[in-house]
Amino acid sequence: MISIIGIIVVFGAVIGGFMMEKGQLAVLVQPAELVTIGGAALGTLLVANPMHILKGIASGLMGVIGGSPFTKQRYLDTLKMMFDLFSKARKDGMVAIEADVEGADKSPIFTAYPKFMKDHHAVDFVCDTMRMAITGGVLPFDVDQMMELDMDTHHHSSSLPTTALNTVADALPGLGIVAAVLGIVITMGALGGPPEEIGHKVAAALVGTFLGILLCYGVLGPLASFMGKMNEEEHAYYHILRVVMLAFIKGTSPILAVELARRAIPAHLRPSFSEVEKACRNKSAAPAAA
């Protein structure tokens, strides 16, 4: 939501400064220029990207409205969930969590955390890793390598929509120049007419350049940057899952594995030691996500 407010501030500042200098707001309303620039930008986006990247862009832009799902409470719930899973494995053996890992959608441990269950890749990441630990005979180093490969592949795939949106943003000033040139061509055809008409056509042509630059640096560029930061936050979340699972697979106690993961959480989202301990020790407490 803060990104939406930022875009409103950008447009408010630009339009407000224009009107402070006695500019006529109606001059900036040029639907033809907007159609030229917006249509060309959409066309280049469709030409350059396959469908799964286009869906990623749409999903990323929707995330701008909802904000980051990786909050302090999300991390706290995740640590509690992993503690419960590891405690069950430590008490009854690794075979005891096989049903949870094989059927996460029916597991009382995982289903208690609906936000985690909505993240299908995170569910697969945890279950596939723990499945290898249950089978036995796999070294912790090899499990760590598998998790690293999974994370790198997912991070690369998640960054493709951001790169595509950045490419379109970089093209907008050039598309604005295209619209401006078309406006000048139209102006040349109107030479000899009333001065007011020629002035209006020149203004419309310049608005094309203005819109291209504004949409690049004031809208799409910042949105692509926001999506990039969201990808980094997601990567940080998977890193926490990697740390906690690797620590447990190495033989660390559940509470120590959780503490190692807690210290790897970004500082502005990291819950305190007492908060994590209270959540893990309180068996009757329902997660906030539920």
Q: What's the pLDDT score for residue 283?
A: 58
Domain-wise residue ranges, the chain: 30-281
- Give residue 191's pLDDT: 76
Q: Quick one: 203 exposed, middle or buried, by C-beta within 10 A (0-12, 13-18, 19+)? A: middle
Cβ–Cβ < 8 Å for 100, 107: yes
pLDDT in tens, the chain (290 residues): 788 888 899 999 999 998 888 888 888 888 888 899 999 999 999 999 999 999 999 988 888 877 788 999 999 999 999 999 999 999 988 889 999 999 999 999 999 999 999 999 999 999 999 999 888 778 889 999 999 999 999 999 999 999 999 999 999 999 999 988 988 888 887 777 787 778 878 888 888 899 999 999 999 999 999 999 999 999 999 999 999 999 999 999 999 999 999 999 999 999 999 999 998 887 544 444 44
Q: Is residue 99 within 8 Å of residue 122, measured between CB atoms?
A: no
d(CA 271, CA 267): 9
Closest CA to 85 of 30, 127, 39: 127
Query: Tell me, what's the pLDDT at 30?
Result: 85
Do 281 and 103 contact (CB within 8 A), yes or no? no
